[in-house]
Amino acid sequence: MEDGIILIDKPAGWTSFDVVAKIRGKIRRDYAERAIKPTKRQLRVGHAGTLDPFATGLLIVLLGDATKKATEFLKLDKVYEAEIILGKESTTGDPEGEITDTSSLVPSGEEVRVALRQFTGEITQRPPIFSAIKINGQRAYKLARDGKEVEIPERQVMIYSLELVEYDYPSLKIRTHVGSGTYIRSLAVDIGKTLRTGAYCHALRRTNVADFTIASAKRVDEFLAEA
């Protein structure tokens, strides 16, 4: 517990920091029950890779001195399952933004498959303005919420594989294995542009971070209930 890794299956509606706070609270209570005052190191809790509040899945939580390795974990590749909604766009690229209808065009299954093939290998992507990327020392999402103009430069990202899981318009479900720094919300938006329908990421689940899998993760309530 003091220096290590906890794999958590983050629920929808929670921020990654909500999970960190709950785990830190449990550690504090565990020490209090033993009448021990914990050190700062023993209360040090962090995470390795933010999941958006609407997203679920694998969150790597680091304890104690393991928090010093957070940057190493951030560089690892990841696997996501996502549901993309075609014909609509969101100001945030996800269900938390203002959603508007953009097109009644219904792409065929073959058109979808052809479009998805364009998003494998090294691609150019522009991260969403509602993201934790820092611009002049400030988080992009804070600037965007304040109504300030946010310009995030494009970047090169790697998509190792992009699999069509199910297509039933307007719902498009995919599974993708991506490199560090890839935004699935941006991928959804770009797929919508390619199909000329518009799109946003309606649901997102992270199932793998390198060799760490969601099968080994615990729900937050399960972890909190442990002795």
> How far, rounded to the nearest angstrom, does the alpha carbon of residue 141 sit from its chain's CA centroid?
15
* Distance set, CA 223 to CA 6, 64, 111, 212 (Å): 9, 17, 44, 17
Question: Tokens representing 91?
Answer: 């100001």
> How far, rounded to the nearest angstrom, does the alpha carbon of residue 220 sit from its chain's CA centroid?
17
> How far, rounded to the nearest angstrom, does the alpha carbon of residue 51 sit from its chain's CA centroid?
3
> How far, rounded to the nearest angstrom, does the alpha carbon of residue 9 sit from its chain's CA centroid?
12
Instruction: Exactly one of 52, 65, 77, 101 is catalytic; name it.
Output: 52
Three-state secondary-structure class, residue 168: strand
Is residue 65 annotated as a catalytic residue, yes or no?
Answer: no
Beta 155-168 vs 171-178: how paired, if at all?
Answer: antiparallel
Rg (CA), the chain: 19
| Residue pair 152/131 in contact by the 8 Å Cβ criterion | yes
Q: What's the number of CA atoms in the CB half-sphere (13 Å) around residue 86?
A: 24
Catalytic positions are: 52
